[in-house]
Each structure stands twice: as structure tokens, then as C-alpha cells.
DNA sequence: CATAATTGTTCCTATTTCGAGAACGGTGTC
DNA sequence: GACACCGTTCTCGAAATAGGAACAATTATG
């Protein structure tokens, strides 16, 4: 309707609209037909057809006059995670990393140019909410997290530029890298030392250290990271101990993947 | 495809096919265009269009020639759970129930005639895998779980028959109720005593006790249950202690919901 | 208590979109 | 180096969808 000037018309509008409806239902926490129709600039009758179809396919439930996403999404989400190669071979190690450092440990990968968390574990000292049961935040940009930068540093240059061009270098704190040259220099450093740091670049008072996880073929699959308050992530612990442990965890996960990929790729 | 003779045909085939593709991708753990096309009896070009659209909408990722569901589903699933009224007001109580009984505690609701788990907590004595990170099993039928029967017992009669007719009374163990009259008698008992039991009706060696959670208006919203091996769930513990605690938990969750709907809803 | 205003649902037809086969370009294999 | 396979693109006829309007059901309102 409004903006797909560059992309080829090889996509299905009906499917696209269905996706919009799913995302709108999530955002609105359920909605009625009229509300949705107004929100998405569709006719009531069309909106109704979409909802009826999604309901029949059990992706949507209807309570009274309110349509909401069904718990099928919880099931699908858990399956997606369970099937992910990084989860299968990195879950235990991420837990150990959280245990050893006492802080939050994250396992993530890049998807569509954004950071997607696969697994988060709260270490014994970790502050904040219980991540795994709280509201999930939106996906992060890659350039202001440690794990994200670790991934960016090992992406093919072409894809790096594609992502930067598409997502931009949004600023979140005074420390956020917003300049492409600074970023490139930082990524070179990361490649050299084998890990990345996030020094209050996303959230004031929060530091993090992340290391990339690569496939046997050398393609970056994702990263592990540890994050915590600057008060605890400082001095030698921040400069040496945590990086060592994070890099070690990444290496162990790589080894796990390596051992499991004896089978053919197809 | 074959079994919706009653429902009006007010649904969109394109959306329906998109849902099939999502489910196939989950089932196949990712697939190529040709593989998917064969699996769903679609042409390659059509399948490609669907996948391209889902990818553009970030519900699907492409790795090499393999398309898979993206981690957006994990995000959506967590949001759906987080937004669910039973999770918001029943999470803490479910955890407490697991702690007090030492066994698995479940929080569930009915969707599309099936049991959907909202939250599972492993108590200190609970055996088995860590549910919340393991592969999710498929949704259960309602008639052979304690929570499911607790819900069925408080559904409007019309809806009860609708569900039974649609889902049937599948047998999983010799103890499974497979007869409508037996089920009705059982549901009457459940209504009388306020809770339901599952005595090896789903899995041999596993018992469970469930109690319904109703809205202030008297509509059943779901149920909580405790499950464990017959060796531990026996005698007075099974006959009195656990039912008491389960019913108490259900009542507390109802009270939480009640209090939240009194104040301004937002 | 009756009327008005919403909301969800259904119906219908023109119009747009989708579907299928074939062809293209790229990759891996024998 | 030729062949087979896969993903992608193209084009046009065929079929599905979008939207307006009417209907039913529920709720708000005077």
C-alpha cells in the first residue's frame, strides 16, 4: 500500500497483511475487529476474514469479541529455540557462564540485522527481573551490545554494510558508537582481541563482554555475553577474568557444534 | 482440509496456506523451497512467494537455501504468555505450589478444545527434564488431565459437547475415560468436590490433581494442577494435602484476578 | 424501557492478486 | 566438462480477495 518501492513484487500481500495482523494483535494485546481494522486501515469485512482464518488455524483465539494470539505461539517459540543449533550446544555452557561470573549470561544470534536473544540466564549476583518469565524487550541493534559487536566483527564486510545501512547507528547513550569509521576501528580491535566489550553503550551503568561463536566453516553463528553493573564489572574482573571466561565459553560451544556436525549437511 | 464441514467458508486460503507453511517449517525444523513445496503440494514458485513474504516480515530466516522460523516466534510466545491474565496473576502462586508440594505445578487454559500450558514449574522433588527449556510437547486433550477435567467440569454444557464431539475421547492408558457418560459422572463429582484428579489416565505412573480458576463472572479461565509419580502422590498426601493446596492456589489466583479487575483496568 | 449507537458477521461483485509451468542462473556432482 | 538439482524470476489466465452495504446482536443512553 504505502512503501515497497525498492523490493521486487515477489511477495504476497495477503500473507503480508496476515503478518501485520499478528503483530498488531501482539502489540494491542488482543483487539476487536473494528479496532484492528482502523489500526491497519482495512475494511471490517476483510479484517474479519483474516481473523477467522487465523482462528481456524489456531493461531488466534476469540474471547467474547476480542481476538488475541493463541498460546500456540508459546509452543512455536519454544520449538524454535529448542531447534536452534546454538541453544542445543550452548545452553549448558551459558548456564555455567552465568554461574561462574555471577552475572547475566546471554546467548544470541543475528537475524534480519538485529540481535535476537536465544537464552538468558541469571547468575547468582544478577540484578533485575527474572528475564525468562518477564516481558521480552524488543530486539536490540547490534552496534551497541557486546555480543552484537562480536557478531558484526565477524560478518562478511558486505553484510556488515548492508546491516548498518539498513538499521543505522542509533544512539542510546553518550557512549554509543554512532560513526561508521569508529565502528570499523572497534570491530578491528574486536577481531584482534577475540572479544567485544560494551561500556555503557546501551544502558548507563551496564557493561558487558561478548565473544563470537563460529561454525566449523568459519561463519559467525552468534555470540555469548555477560552483562552486569559497572560497580561489579570493573578492574581486573572486567578487563581479564570475564573476557577469559566468555571467550572460553564461546570456544567450548564451538567445539560442541564441531563435534555434532559429523553428519552430512543435507 | 478435510474436517471442517460445519464452519462457514469465510476464510482466506492464502492465509491458511501461510499458516500451514509456518507449521511445516516448525515440524521439519526448516526446509528448502522444493522440499516444502512437495510436502504441502504446492508449486515451487508459490512456495517461494510465501517464504519470501514471511522472510520480509521477519517471521522466517533464510540460511543458505534453508528457510526456518525466526526467533520472532520466541518473542511473540513470551509476550503472549506475559499478557495472559492467568500468567500475570497466577505465576507466583504456581511457583509457590511447586515449592510447597515439591512436585511439578502447571498453569493452563483451554484453547480450541485442547489444553495449553501457560507455565510449568518444577518443584524440588520433581523428576524429569527441565520443562521450560526442553522441547514442548504437543497440546494435550482435556479429558485425561486433571486440569483439563477441572476446566471441562465448569464449561457451559454446550461447549463441553462441542469439544468432546470435535476431539473425541482418545485413550492413552487403560485408565483414560473414553465414555461420555463416565465423563459426565466424573465431571459432576469434580464440580461437587471442587477439584479433579488424574489417576494414571494420561501416563502410567503419573498422578495429578487440578483445580479450576474462574473469573469474577463465573466463567472458567483455566486451572492449576500438581503432578508427580504415584509413588509420591499417594495416601493422605494425594487424597487430602495436595487437593487442599491446589484448591487454595486456585482460590488465591481467583482473588488476585478479582482484585485487579476492581481497580481501573490498565 | 425504548431508542440509538456499536460491534461482529454475512453477502455480493468487480478487481486484484495469486498460482502454475517454464525458463534462467547458480552450485555441486559425477 | 556435462548433468542434475535447487532457488529464483517471469508471464498470464484463473481464482481469490477487498470493500461496501445490509443484518444481527449486544451495549449504551436518554
Span A59-79, mean pLDDT? 97
Shortest CA distance from A79: residue in chain B? B135
Residue A82 with chain B: CB contacts under 8 Å:
133-136
| Cβ separation B75–A78 shorter than 8 A | no
Fold of B80-262: Beta-Lactamase (3.30.450)
Q: Report the sign of the C-alpha dihedral through residues B70, B72, B78, B81, in that order.
A: negative
Instruction: Point out which residues pair with A216 in neighbouring strands.
Output: none
Q: Computed over its alpha carbons, how large is the radius of gyration of chain A?
A: 21
Distance CA A220, CA B156 (A): 54
Is A124 a residue whose pLDDT tops 50? yes
Tell me the CATH number of domain A80-260, given options 3.10.20.520, 3.30.450.40, 3.40.50.12280, 3.40.50.280.
Answer: 3.30.450.40
Distance CA B227, CA B238 (A): 10
Is B7 a residue whose pLDDT tops 50? no
Is B36 a residue whose pLDDT tops 60? yes
Any idea where the domains of chain B sit in the sequence? 13-70, 80-262
Quick one: pLDDT at residue B119? Answer: 96
Question: How many alpha carbons lie under 13 Å from residue A122 in its C-beta half-sphere?
Answer: 11
- When the pLDDT of each residue in chain A is averaged and rounded to a whole number, the result is 91
Is B263 a residue whose pLDDT tops 60? no
Distances (CA, A) of A185 to A141, A151, B139, B254: 18, 15, 50, 57
Band of residue B139 on the pLDDT scale cut at 50, 70, 90 = confident
Nearest CB neighbour to A11, from listed B19, B56, B68: B56
Could you tell me which residue, B266 or A261, shows the higher pLDDT?
A: A261
Nearest CB neighbour to A77, from listed B30, B73, B91: B73
Query: Chain A neighbours among B 42-61 (CB < 8 Å)?
Result: 48-50, 52-54, 56-59, 61
Question: Which strand (E) or helix (H) includes residue A15?
Answer: helix A13-28
Distance CA B145, CA B223 (A): 11
Query: Chain A neighbours among B 62-121 (CB < 8 Å)?
Result: 68-84, 91, 109, 111-112, 116-119
Quick one: pLDDT at residue B78? Answer: 95
Residue pLDDT, tens place only, B77-117: 999 999 999 999 999 999 999 999 999 999 999 999 999 99
Task: Find the angle CA(B149)-CA(B150)-CA(B156) to the nearest 5 degrees.
Answer: 90
Band of residue B266 on the pLDDT scale cut at 50, 70, 90 = very low
Candidates A150, A206, A148, A212; CA nearest to A175 is A206
Residue pLDDT, tens place only, A131-153: 445 556 677 899 999 999 999 99
**Largest separation between any pair of C-alpha atoms in chain B:** 63
Is B202 a residue whose pLDDT tops 70? yes
Contact, A44 CB vs strand D, < 7 Å: yes
Quick one: pLDDT at residue B140? Answer: 87
Distance of residue B240 Cα from the nearest chain A Cα, in angstroms: 31
| Least-confidence region, from A76-90, A249-263, B51-65 | A249-263
Distance CA B52, CA B46 (A): 10
Tell me the CATH number of domain A13-70, given options 1.10.1040.10, 1.10.10.10, 3.30.230.10, 3.40.640.10.
Answer: 1.10.10.10
| Cβ separation B84–A71 shorter than 8 A | yes
Quick one: pLDDT at residue A125? Answer: 86
Is A264 a residue whose pLDDT tops 60? no
User: In this structure, are residues B106 and B242 in contact, taking their beta carbons and an 8 Å threshold?
Assistant: no
DSSP class of A154: T
- % of chain B beyond a pLDDT of 90: 86
Count H helices, E strands: chain A?
Answer: 10, 8
Helix (H, G, I), strand (E, B) or coil at B25: helix
Quick one: pLDDT at residue B5? Answer: 34
Is B1 a residue whose pLDDT tops 70? no
Distance of residue B264 Cα from the nearest chain A Cα, in angstroms: 17
Amino acid at each position: 500500500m504505502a512503501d515497497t518501492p525498492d523490493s521486487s513484487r515477489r511477495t504476497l500481500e495477503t500473507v503480508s497483511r496476515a503478518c501485520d495482523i499478528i503483530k498488531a494483535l501482539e502489540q494491542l494485546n488482543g483487539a476487536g475487529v473494528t479496532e484492528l481494522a482502523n489500526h491497519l486501515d482495512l475494511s471490517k469485512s476483510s479484517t474479519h476474514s483474516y481473523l477467522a482464518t487465523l482462528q481456524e488455524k489456531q493461531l488466534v483465539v476469540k474471547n467474547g469479541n476480542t481476538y488475541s494470539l493463541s498460546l500456540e505461539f508459546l509452543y512455536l517459540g519454544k520449538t524454535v529455540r529448542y531447534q536452534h543449533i546454538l541453544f542445543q550446544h550452548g545452553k549448558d555452557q551459558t548456564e555455567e557462564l552465568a554461574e561462574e561470573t555471577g552475572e547475566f549470561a546471554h546467548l544470541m544470534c543475528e537475524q534480519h540485522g538485529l540481535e535476537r536473544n536465544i537464552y538468558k540466564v541469571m547468575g547468582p549476583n544478577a540484578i533485575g527481573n527474572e528475564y525468562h518469565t518477564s516481558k521480552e524487550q524488543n530486539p536490540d541493534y547490534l552496534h551497541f551490545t557486546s555480543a552484537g559487536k562480536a557478531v558484526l566483527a565477524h560478518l562478511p564486510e558486505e553484510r556488515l554494510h548492508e546491516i548498518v545501512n539498513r538499521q543505522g547507528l542509533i544512539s542510546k547513550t553518550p557512549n554509543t558508537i554512532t560513526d561508521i569509521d569508529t565502528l570499523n576501528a572497534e570491530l578491528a580491535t574486536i577481531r584482534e582481541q577475540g572479544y567485544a566489550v560494551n561500556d555503557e553503550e546501551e544502558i548507563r551503568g551496564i557493561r558487558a563482554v561478548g565473544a563470537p561463536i563460529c561454525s566449523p566453516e568459519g561463519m559467525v553463528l552468534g555470540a555469548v555475553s555477560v552483562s552486569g553493573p559497572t560497580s561489579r564489572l570493573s578492574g581486573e574482573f572486567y578487563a581479564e577474568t570475564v573476557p577469559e571466561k566468555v571467550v572460553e565459553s564461546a570456544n567450548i560451544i564451538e567445539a560442541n557444534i564441531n563435534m555434532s556436525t559429523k553428519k552430512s549437511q543435507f
